[in-house]
Structure 1
Amino acid sequence: MKLFRILCIPIFLYFAYLQLNDPDPYLWFPLYAAVSAIALAGLFRKVPRFVGWILIPIYLVLSGYYFSQTPYFGMEVEEVREFLGLLIASAAIAFLVFKK
């Protein structure tokens, strides 16, 4: 589990960095940086479960919203990529917070 935390830190920081040239980085940068911050905090102390109970539903609701906005399912559609990114982030938060 420690290896997963160590891998999540640079991966999600890189995801956050890539969002800086997006038209709405104020939304996407914090979403990905939060996962990295949770992974970093988890290296030093136990992350409270309420963090997962708060963030995961937010990520999943946003994911559902972007999925509902897709004209069709293809990787060239931005909403599909945003939907998948939010699913990956919510799964990572679930593993970081609820897995021992």
Structure 2
Amino acid sequence: MKIFNVVFAVLFVLFAALQWNDPDPYIWMPIYLYGAVFCGLAAAGNYYKGWYLFGIVACLGYAVSLFFAKDGVLSWATEHHAENIAGAMKASTPWIEDTREFFGLFIIIVVLLVNFVYISQKRAKKMRKKMMKIG
């Protein structure tokens, strides 16, 4: 888990840095840095289950809104035939921008979820061991 978290902490810092010239860096830099901070803490052995859950719920809410937005992911997939979102770095159409943002959120959600499940299982295992000693 340490390597997983170090890799994603570094990636999220890089993703945040790439947002500097984005039209809305004030939204995306904190989102990516949120992931970076909690991956960095997890790499150091400090897990914060409640903060993972908060991040998952917040990012999931935003992702759902991007999915169903007028020029969102659903529009990209159905009306625009899932055109290439990696062609040019500067998104010239709103459905490409929203789709890229959706997948960025998806990555953060998956990483936070992996940490949430890991610490949940680790704590449950610890609790079972404790209960075995008592019983």
* TM-score in terms of structure 1 length: 0.90
Q: Which residue of 1 aligns with 2:34?
A: 34
Shift of 1:60: 0.4
State how far apart, in whole Å, the 2-side matches of 1:97 and 1:26 are.
Answer: 26
Q: Which residue of 2 aligns with 1:88?
A: 107
Correspondence 1:61 to 2:47: no
Q: Which residue of 1 aligns with 2:76?
A: 72
Bigger RCO of structures 1 and 2 (CA < 8 A, at least 6 apart): 1
State how far apart, in whole Å, the 1-side matches of 2:48 and 2:117 are.
Answer: 9
Gaps of 5+ in 1: none
State how far apart, in whole Å, the 2-side matches of 1:2 and 1:29 are.
Answer: 23
What count of residue pairs does the alignment treat as equivalent? 100
Q: Root-mean-square deviation (CA), in Å? A: 1.4
Gaps of 5+ in 2: 86-95, 120-135
Q: Which moved more, 1:65-74 or 1:85-94?
A: 65-74
Q: Which moved more, 1:45-54 or 1:2-11?
A: 45-54
Q: Which deviations, in whole Å up to 9, do the C-alpha atoms of 1:14-52 show, x marking residues without a partner?
A: 111111111111100010111111011112233221112
State how far apart, in whole Å, the 2-side matches of 1:18 and 1:47 are.
Answer: 27
Q: Which residue of 2 aligns with 1:11?
A: 11
Shift of 1:99: 1.2
Give the SS at the match of 2:76.
coil
Shift of 1:67: 1.0
Shift of 1:84: 0.9
Give the SS at the match of 1:72.
helix
* TM-score in terms of structure 2 length: 0.68
